[in-house]
Structure 1
Amino acid sequence: MSSKEMPDTEVQSVPGSRHRGLNYSTVSALAVVLLAVGALGGWYVGRESSGHGEASRCTQARNAINDYVEQYKDTDPQSGTADEQAQARQDTRTALNVQVQNPDCFSPKERAQAQSWLDSMDQTAAREAQQPAPERTGCFWNASEC
């Protein structure tokens, strides 16, 4: 019989047919492993970028206040230039606002004290704004007096 005249009862073998099942299994297993690794990687990246939730936020808030205290603990509030004093007041307000705006991180007493200091600073600033500017005399302000 020639190759063109095959009887209908013969089954032709397909090259590699016994390995085809193994290849599909391998590819499927590899796909499952890659999906699992991708999901695990996404979970890990999400966990790292989240900063571990509230504990991290509270740690950051307390660290910000501690940094402020370290920076100004040995500083006399009345010393320095006007710009340095203004910067110290601004930093103080920032630290107090951090405390007030993080109720889960600070006790009610701590937040109330911070709010009291902020209110006092606001009242002082309003009082100073209402006072007339000091009269500027002297050689520096008026060259005709020199």
Structure 2
Amino acid sequence: MSKASGDSRQRREAISRPAKITLGVVVLFAAVAGGFLLGRGSADTSTAAAAQCDDARAEIAKLYKEQQQPSDGLPAAVQPPAQATLTMMNVVLQNPDCFNAEERATAQTTKDRIATDANNAAVSAAADKIAACAAGTALSC
């Protein structure tokens, strides 16, 4: 093979490589756009989806109302709200089509904060017990 024909072949390959990449990107974009449009066309926008969202919001309202009522003789302000709050946040996170991005982000942040607070409380309790054992003031070690 002559040097001239080899250079010509390399130029064609160099030109065709970007063209192939561009074609691949265009085909991929078309497939994604087509899938989005098809999915949107068949999305459940019926009353069943609306009813599911209504049920989710009603569950949250019920849990919130229960959380505000005193139990065990304690006023609502001093009761540990973690379990009811976690359940409400899970309802939001498990129904993403019913809540906007800000509500979902708030729910996730709240769940994370509750988990962190619970971990901090457990570590603090363990540290207190260890300190009491070391000082000899604990009932059991």
| TM-score, scaled to structure 1 | 0.48
Choose between structure 1 and 2: higher helix proportion.
2
Over alpha carbons, which structure has the higher Rg? 1
| TM-score, scaled to structure 2 | 0.50
